[in-house]
Structure 1
């Protein structure tokens, strides 16, 4: 059985994840940052795409030592596994995920990824091929299940989120809408990608909860069967 997949993201009131230059933008407030850290701590693994790695250089580590201690006391690794979807093995070996982050790193590549780049990454991470031309998310989820991942938190970016939406391989969406307008027709949105054209293909959701946090609102949706 594949892991339970929670997609978590923050977007502006006009649906943007970042500026048109794809630069990281502070959308959430302090209370939402705490919520995200709790969700990370409650997850077995945290996933991002290579676009997020190259633009934001995240470490994906838990900010709270208390949450890490609770995980350890419960028999888990103090920090969740960190997972990167990177078809061409473009992940830099000197990124913050390796310098500042704690916990296991797993990088999923495709068969077309250069061998020398994969070999370099293997010195710091587990590298798994999961597709011929691009990474197949269904294969990724099967592999993560074999690694003991029951709950997966997906943080983006926009292209990866669209891959989950278009494949239907998710269970829940938690989207924080911040009190700001970013604008820009080329700015990344919550669901970048080709998009659906047939209404029969649209991803249908059921609203589970609404919560005001800081000056924004957190919407929790579950995927309709």
Structure 2
């Protein structure tokens, strides 16, 4: 059994924020970058976001391009990747768009959170308990057993931090937007943590691409 390849995908401001403090999602990317993200979604077996991102952004997390969806079907895949979320509490709103678009949905939670998540969602998603606490390595093992070869992680900061602290990220795709958020309490790409190798560990920079006014950096943390 092989764990999926883990790609962390994030858009950040020049000062490292992924959003501002307003109730609405702050647009950091542009149309070219959104299309590139859509292509990466189409190449993935599953897309993962944390429960807080599901609540805050109310995303659909779909492959938007009809041509890309058709190519997936022609290759013997389902139209959309599996949608995955992670929650300790299991407290999830069944009316959010995440549950009512696309195909298969998975919820990874704790033993105690499983009861709450199942009661909240009914048959909208498969709920998987990972024990008394969520271990992201166990989550990847389960996805591997389900045949997922490539996992795209789209946030938020707590989830990205967890994968990086555990040394489980194979690649980071960072789109840097030409703006400054400057709000100290706004969410960042990663939270403080103990990361493998500490500050002395330098990632391998594989590529830099210009998409309109956005710079896309591809890092490989394990090299």
Q: TM-score range by the shorter chain?
A: over 0.9
Residue 152 of structure 2 is matched in structure 1 by: 153
Q: Distance in 2 between matches of 1:107 and 1:22?
A: 25
Post-superposition offset of 1:51: 1.0
Matched, 1:37 2:38: yes
Distance 1:90 1:150, change over 3 A: same
Specify which of 197, 206, 209 is matched with residue 208 of structure 1.
Answer: 206
d(CA) in 1 for partners of 2:193 and 2:110?
A: 23
Note the C-alpha offset of 1:181: 1.1
Quote how far apart the aligned CAs of 1:186 are.
Answer: 1.0
* Distance (Å, rounded) in 2 between the aligned partners of 1:35 and 1:116: 36
Gaps of 5+ in 2: none
Q: Aligned pair 1:106/2:103, yes or no?
A: no
Q: What does 1:1-225 correspond to in 2, within 5 Å?
A: 1-21=2-22, 23-99=24-100, 101-113=101-113, 115-132=115-132, 134-192=133-191, 194-196=192-194, 200-202=197-199, 204-225=202-223
Cα separation, partners in 2 of 1:95 and 1:179, compared to 1, 3 Å: same
* C-alpha contact (below 8 Å) 2:114/2:128 kept by paired residues: no
Instruction: Report deviation, 1:113.
Output: 1.1
1:187-221 Cα distance to aligned partner (Å, 9 max, x none): 111112x323x894345410000001110100000
Give the 3 Å change call, closer, same or farther, for CA 23–168 of structure 1 in structure 2: farther
Structure 1, unpaired ranges of 5+: none
Q: Is the 8 A contact 1:14 1:183 kept in 2?
A: yes
Residue 180 of structure 1 deviates from its aligned partner by: 1.2
**Secondary structure of the structure 1 residue equivalent to 2:140:** helix
The alignment's TM-score, normalised by the length of structure 1, stands at: 0.93
